[in-house]
Structure 1
């Protein structure tokens, strides 16, 4: 698998996170980056040296990057490779980096930094410098290499990361020899049951009473919203029939049908919980017409949709329906069933 090294300063971590995620999800590649690959008490220097050994280096370049000692360490490790032109894939965050006149400030920054460091070391015997001498050489090396590094970076048609990650992932897929629209399936995402033709069999999921009650309440809200929308639209479009909807309580709703101003039917829709109505849990409809046209206060149902489990999901079973008895339904199906069974016969 191709190896990719993400080189960035921590002020640009958010951008690095986006690129890292895109490489994993779109290309199936986990890039090498310090926060993931440098363990406790491990050497940062040894990790940064890997920039010279990977297939692709993606430096996320900004003004902060170019003034960072560790970032420039990784950049120099990259350009030590004679084939670095083929492995460096810059992502430039700031357009002014393309202006050659602005390169001068970065060369001067490191030149002044190395001169300042050298002045600080003045007076220390050579045998006592230890790694400080190497650090001075490194600062001078950055100053000497900065112009060349920026020339390599700005000579390319670098895609703007602000226009999306597709160009980054398309580039990597091209290097991998894949089509741009290839979907990468990671090992952990494979369905081995499907691969071997084995049917998955699981124990039925057990839903708690609370989950069932919340499902019924949510279904009730969706059903009432759907019936209200349909009734309102029908009323606006028909000059003879008027269908009025009204909330009666927190768990019941009344639909009244008028033709030429005369009430033809009143239907109550509500939900019942396990504490009432013989322990039933679900949605009901009750025909409330009587000789006095008063709402019926009893529990005489003409439609009943009780909660059940089917294929490890909660559904409503049409326990009592003129058209679809014992059919499993979702909220939209119940809306249709109530309309066809209890409203449509009175308006046609």
Structure 2
């Protein structure tokens, strides 16, 4: 199946929501179109905004800033030119007050005032010198006349909670046939077709122990996936708590440092690193909460290793007394890390 082109329309002041969506769909068969990547130097911003109509799908991150932004509402106008446009958009409702008629009216009034101010200033110059200002005046008027219809239609859609929006977007893409449904077992993608069975060929090393190479590849992939889920959690924490900021520093492809701040004051830090923490040949994932030891990978608060269980590689904690010893999935590992090394500090 071809790649899906998905446009994310948002106000720059609310970029954290776009980052959250961008990160979630990074490794899927989707090309995320955002202004920070697609508008090169000297390229027309207006032409870029018009490309929203050429996309397979559009995500609209609806905040108060968004509904008061001329550029964002211009993108909305472009979308509304499409027949049955509501089937092509997914509104991420942050400004939940739009579900009330009084709030919709307040946004219409906001743009009516903007239009009157613009028109008053416009009449003070010679029409010969107006240039593109005429078009901007018309667009402002169009925003006024379209705002009520747009917000009423969006408010009437079955919108998901902001904390579950990524999964809801993915399900909607699957529902519309834009994305294939994925079948996962223990974080390993399974092909629907059993090629060995169809060709009547014996399987290779079916009952053999995993090799060192397979173990190390498993740990490398697990390290990447653990950090991916952790970053999603961090993004959601920032979205839901305006006073918490999280700095994520990739030192290299084997070491990532997370620093947690509340109101500008650091409350904790965590380092995850891929190495050979037990002085063996098998790769392990180390955890350190001691900021003074972040310069080396010789200090551990916890170590995650691999072992074979029921013929398959799983993760487990070989060090970390506060953690459960077994964890068979990425989600369980991340849950243990978060509950034991991060959540206690965020909750204080």
Partner of 2:9: 7
In 2, Cα distance between the equivalents of 1:214 and 1:77?
A: 55
Instruction: State whether residues 118 and 137 of structure 2, in contact with CA within 8 Å, keep that contact through their aligned partners in structure 1.
Output: yes
C-alpha spacing 1:41/1:102, structure 2 compared with 1 (3 Å): same
- The superposition leaves residues 238-294 of structure 1 with CA deviations (integer Å, 9 ceiling, x where unpaired) of xxxxxxxxxxxxxxxxxxxxxxxxxxxxxxxxxxxxxxxxxxxxxxxxxxxxxxxxx
Partner of 2:255: none
In 1, Cα distance between the equivalents of 2:30 and 2:276?
A: 44
Partner of 1:19: 21
- The superposition leaves residues 93-121 of structure 1 with CA deviations (integer Å, 9 ceiling, x where unpaired) of 12211111101111111111011011112
- The superposition leaves residues 73-112 of structure 1 with CA deviations (integer Å, 9 ceiling, x where unpaired) of 1100000111312211111012211111101111111111
SS of 2:7's partner is: strand
Partner of 2:225: none
TM-score, normalised on structure 1? 0.52
1:112 aligned onto 2:113: yes
C-alpha spacing 1:177/1:67, structure 2 compared with 1 (3 Å): closer
Q: CA deviation at 1:57?
A: 1.2
C-alpha spacing 1:54/1:45, structure 2 compared with 1 (3 Å): same
RMSD: 3.5
1:137 aligned onto 2:135: no
Structure 2: gaps spanning 5 or more residues: 185-195, 197-202, 205-210, 217-274, 281-304, 306-317, 319-348
C-alpha spacing 1:180/1:201, structure 2 compared with 1 (3 Å): closer
Q: CA deviation at 1:4?
A: 1.2
Counterparts of residues 248-287 of structure 1 (less than 5 Å)? none
In 1, Cα distance between the equivalents of 2:97 and 2:150?
A: 15
Name the count of aligned residue pairs: 202
Instruction: State whether residues 63 and 93 of structure 2, in contact with CA within 8 Å, keep that contact through their aligned partners in structure 1.
Output: yes
1:70 aligned onto 2:71: yes
In 2, Cα distance between the equivalents of 1:161 and 1:48?
A: 24
In 1, Cα distance between the equivalents of 2:42 and 2:212?
A: 47
C-alpha spacing 1:164/1:3, structure 2 compared with 1 (3 Å): closer
Instruction: State whether residues 4 and 58 of structure 1, in contact with CA within 8 Å, keep that contact through their aligned partners in structure 2.
Output: yes
Instruction: State whether residues 52 and 75 of structure 2, in contact with CA within 8 Å, keep that contact through their aligned partners in structure 1.
Output: yes
In 1, Cα distance between the equivalents of 2:88 and 2:178?
A: 16
- The superposition leaves residues 195-244 of structure 1 with CA deviations (integer Å, 9 ceiling, x where unpaired) of 9x99x999xx9xxxxxx997559xxxxxxxxxxxxxxxxxxxxxxxxxxx
Structure 1: gaps spanning 5 or more residues: 184-194, 206-211, 218-312, 314-331, 333-348
- The superposition leaves residues 288-324 of structure 1 with CA deviations (integer Å, 9 ceiling, x where unpaired) of xxxxxxxxxxxxxxxxxxxxxxxxx9xxxxxxxxxxx
Instruction: State whether residues 4 and 29 of structure 2, in contact with CA within 8 Å, keep that contact through their aligned partners in structure 1.
Output: no
- The superposition leaves residues 34-82 of structure 1 with CA deviations (integer Å, 9 ceiling, x where unpaired) of 1111111111111100112212111010111100111101100000111
C-alpha spacing 1:147/1:127, structure 2 compared with 1 (3 Å): same
Partner of 1:182: 183
C-alpha spacing 1:177/1:129, structure 2 compared with 1 (3 Å): closer
